[in-house]
Amino acid sequence: MFTYYSIILFISIMTMLILSLLVHENARHTSKQKRAFYKTHFVIIISAIMEWLGLLMNEAPSWTKYIHCLVKTIDYILTPAIAYFFINQVDSKLSVKKYMGILEIIDILIILLSVPFGWVFYIDQNNVYRHGPFYIVYPIIYVLMMILLIIGLLQYGRRFASSNKKSLFAIMLLTLVGIIFQETAGGFMRTGYLALAMGSTLLFIHFEEFCQQEMDEDGKAKTILLEKDALTDLYSRYAYNEQLKKHSNPPLSSTLCVLLIDINGLKMVNDTKGHEKGDELICETAHAIRKAIQSYGHVYRTGGDEFVVLLDLSSYTIKEFYDILKREFYAYKIKAIELSEINVAIGKAYAKDYPDFTLEQLVEVADRDMYKDKANYYRNKRHDRRK
C-alpha cells in the first residue's frame, strides 16, 4: 500500500511541476500572478512530501526521531496554509485572507508548542507518530481554513457569470471530497494531495478562462472608447472608417442616404468668441443632428466641425430630418444670440442613384454637394468662407 501511495504522491508532484511550467510559459500573467501560483504549488509539493516522509519514518531507527518530529511539524504547519496560498493565488485583495493569516499564525504557535509538550502530536519511544490530547484543535483550524477558502472563492466568483460560478464550485467540491475522504478513510488512502493537485490544475484552467474574459471585455471597452468621439459622444472617425471598410463593396442598401454636414462660420466663432464657445457650437450641432436622425441612422464626427450621417429612408424622409434639424438648431441660436448668424452646410447622396458605388464613393458625392451648399451660403452672406 505504501508503494501505491508513493506512486500517487509522485503523480501529484509531477502534476504540480508541470502546472508551474505552464504558468511560466503563460505570457498573459504578470510576474506577481506567476509568483502567487509558484508559491501555492511549492507549498503543496513540500506538504505532500512531508506527509509521505512522516508515514515512511514511522518505526524508523531511533536516531531519526527528531527528524521525524521536524517533518510532522512542517506538515502540520503547511497543510492548513495551502488554503491561504490558494486565496492569495486567485485574488490577494479578498477580505478573508486577513482572517486566514490569523488562523495560520495560531496554528504555527500551537504546533511549535506541541513539539516540547506533545499537545497536538508527539513521537513515541518507538518513533511512531501519535495524536496528542489536544489534537482536535488542529482539525478545527484546518476546517475553518477550508470554510474561509470557500467563502473567499465565493467572493471571487461574484465577478463571474453563473456558469463560471458553477464550475468554480465544482472544482472546490472535488478538492474537499478528496481531503475529506483521506481524513475519514485513514490508513494509506492518501487522496488529499492528489485532490489538491487536480484542484490546482482545474483552478488554473478556470483562471485562464477568466483572464480571457477580462481581456475580451477590456478589448470591447477600448473599442467603445475608440468608436465614441470624446467631445460630442457621437461615433468617431475610427467608427466611420470601420463603416467604410464594412461597405467597401457595392451594392449598398437602396434606402441609404449619406449626408455630410459642416458648420459654417466656426472659425469666426473660435477667433471672436474663443474655442470654448466653438466647442459648445460643435456639441450643440451634434445634439441637433442626433435628434434629427431619430432612430433611423448613425452620425459620425469625422473632423473638427464635420459630420457624416448614414440615414435609412425606408420609413423616414429627408424633409422630416431637415425639419427637426432646423428646429433644434434654431432653439440653440435663440439661447445663444451671439451665434444667430451661424448655420450648417449640408450635402446629400442617395444610394439608389449610384447602385454601383461603395460607401466611400457615395460620401464623395455628398461631400461635393455639401461644398456647393457651403459656397452658396458664403456667397449669399458675402462672408469670407475662411472666417
Each residue of 36-68: pLDDT tens digit?
A: 889 999 998 999 899 889 888 988 898 999 999
Percentage of the chain exceeding pLDDT 70? 87
CATH superfamily of 237-381: Reverse transcriptase/Diguanylate cyclase domain (3.30.70.270)
In this prediction, residues 61-81 reach a mean pLDDT of 92
In this prediction, residues 234-251 reach a mean pLDDT of 90
From the list 325, 319, 295, the residue with the least C-alpha distance to 307 is: 325
Asked whether 196 and 82 are in contact (CB, 8 A), the reply is yes
- Split at pLDDT 50, 70, 90, the class of 304 is confident
pTM, rounded to two decimals: 0.58
User: What pLDDT shows up at residue 186?
Assistant: 62
Asked whether 373 and 261 are in contact (CB, 8 A), the reply is no
**Distance between CA atoms of residues 151 and 19, nearest Å:** 25
In this prediction, residues 21-25 reach a mean pLDDT of 90
Judged by DSSP in three states, 135 sits in coil
**Distance between CA atoms of residues 223 and 348, nearest Å:** 29
Extents of the domains making up the chain:
2-225, 237-381
pLDDT at position 327 over 90 = no
Number of C-beta neighbours around residue 350 at 10 A: 18
pLDDT, greater one: 351 or 200: 351
In this prediction, residues 14-26 reach a mean pLDDT of 90
**Distance between CA atoms of residues 231 and 107, nearest Å:** 58
**Distance between CA atoms of residues 40 and 54, nearest Å:** 21
User: What pLDDT shows up at residue 386?
Assistant: 47
> What is the tens place of the pLDDT at every residue in 146-169?
888 888 877 877 765 555 667 777
Per-residue 3-state assignment (H helix, E strand, C coil) for 20-88: HHHHHHCCCCCHHHHHHHHHHHHHHHHHHHHHHHHHHCCCCCHHHHHHHHHHHHHHHHHHHHHHHHHHH
Residues linked to residue 299 through DSSP beta bridges, in sequence order: 309
Between the ranges 81-95, 257-271, 355-369, where is the mean pLDDT highest?
Answer: 355-369
User: What pLDDT shows up at residue 265?
Assistant: 81
> What is the tens place of the pLDDT at every residue in 122-133?
999 899 989 999
> Chain-centre distance of CA 167, in angstroms?
18
User: What pLDDT shows up at residue 328?
Assistant: 85
CA quadruple 318, 266, 280, 341: dihedral, nearest 10: -70
Asked whether 85 and 39 are in contact (CB, 8 A), the reply is yes
CATH superfamily of 2-225: Rhodopsin 7-helix transmembrane proteins (1.20.1070.10)
